[in-house]
Amino acid sequence: MYSLEDELILESRLEELKECLQDQVDLDPQKLIVARASGRANLIGEHTDYNQGLVLPIAVDRDVLVAGVVQEGDQVTLHSLDFQDQVRFGLKNIVYDPAHPWANYTKGVVQVFKQKGYTLSGFVAAIHGNIPIGAGMSSSAAIEVAVATFLEETFGLKLDPREVALWCVEAENNFVGVNCGIMDQFASKLGKKDHALFIDCRDYSYEYVPFHLDSHKVLLVDSKLGRDLASTEYNIRRAKCEEALNLLKSQLPEVTSLRDVTLAQLERMEEKLGKKLAQRVRHVLSENQRVLKAKEALQKGDLHHLGRLLVQSHLSLRDDFEVVVWSWTFWWRVG
C-alpha cells in the first residue's frame, strides 16, 4: 500500500517528467500518456525460470515511470532523468547502441512491437525510475514493461498482458543480449497487491497466492555487490545448465528440461556430468521443490516455514550454484 508520502513523491516525479517533456515539445497535458511498472523481489525460485522451472516473485513499491506524447514522423526521442541523457532514433533503423545502454531496453521493446506487426509512429518520452540499478530488483524489466504499457496506451492496442511480458523477454534476449528467463517481466507486468505470483516457466501459466504479512515485513538488503546481467556470469551459468541438460538427454531422452530430472537420475549421472554440472542441476531440482513448499506455506499463512525455505534457498545458491547473493530477502517480525 502506498502512503500519503509515497503519493506525494509520485506526484513530484510526474512533475519532473512533465518539465522534461516541456523542454522537448509543446506539451498538451491532455495528450500525455503515463505508464508505470514495478520492480520485483523474488521470494524463492532462483535460476529456475530459464530451466522451465517454478518461481515465486512479488512486485515491490519501487517502479519505473514513462511519460510521453506522440509526434509526427518516425523519430523517437527518449530522455532519461536518472542518467541525464537523451537519445534519438528512427523507427526504420533501430540499432543497439553501447554508448547509451539505458536506451537499448526501450529500443528493443519498440523493435519487437514492430516485428509483431504493429504500426507505430514517432513519440517523445521521458523515463524515471526509483528502483536501485544493478541491485537484483529488475530495473531493466521494469523499463521494458513500462515502455510496452506506454506503447499499448499510446497507440490504442488491446493486448494479452502475458503476451506483452513475453515480448519484453524477447526484447531483452534478442536486442539487449541478456539471455534472461521470464520471471522478471512477468512479475513486473502481472504483479498484484497482497499476492505473490507463482509462475510455471514451462507453460507460462501463473497463479496468485495470497501474501499477507501481518506483523512481518520483507526486507531486501543490498550487499553492495553490483549485478549487471550482461557483463557477469549469468549467461555462463545458463550455458552450463544447457550443457548439463544436453548430457542428461543423451542418456535420458524423455528429459526436455532440467525440471524433468529426478534426484535418483542425477545421482546415476553424476559421474558423467562431473562435480560442477551436477551441483548446478542439484540446485535447480531442489529449488523447484522449495518453491512448491513455499507456495503451500503462503497458502497456510505459515511465514516461519517460508523463512526457513528462504535460508535453504540461499545456501543452495551459495554452495551448489556458486553465485553471489546480491540482495538478501528475509523476514523481520514487527513488535
Active site residues: 184
3-state secondary structure of 55: strand
Query: Closest Cα partner for 200 from 40, 314, 302, 54?
Result: 54
Contact 103, 78 (CB under 8 A): yes
Contact 42, 57 (CB under 8 A): yes
Q: Which amino acid is it at 178?
A: V
Contact 189, 160 (CB under 8 A): no
Contact 330, 221 (CB under 8 A): yes
Residue with cell 540482495: 327
Contact 47, 236 (CB under 8 A): no
Question: 24 is written with which cell numbers?
Answer: 522537448
* Long-range contact set of residues 309-315: C-beta below 8 Å, sequence gap at least 24: 309/44, 310/43, 310/44, 312/286, 313/44, 313/46, 313/287
**136 secondary structure, DSSP code:** S
Pairing of strands 75-80, 54-70: unpaired
At a CB cut-off of 8 Å and minimum separation 6, what does 73 contact? Answer: 121, 122
Contact 201, 222 (CB under 8 A): no
Query: Closest Cα partner for 284 from 246, 242, 331, 233?
Result: 242
Residue with cell 504493429: 118
Question: 27 is written with which cell numbers?
Answer: 506539451
- Number of residues that this document lists for the chain: 335
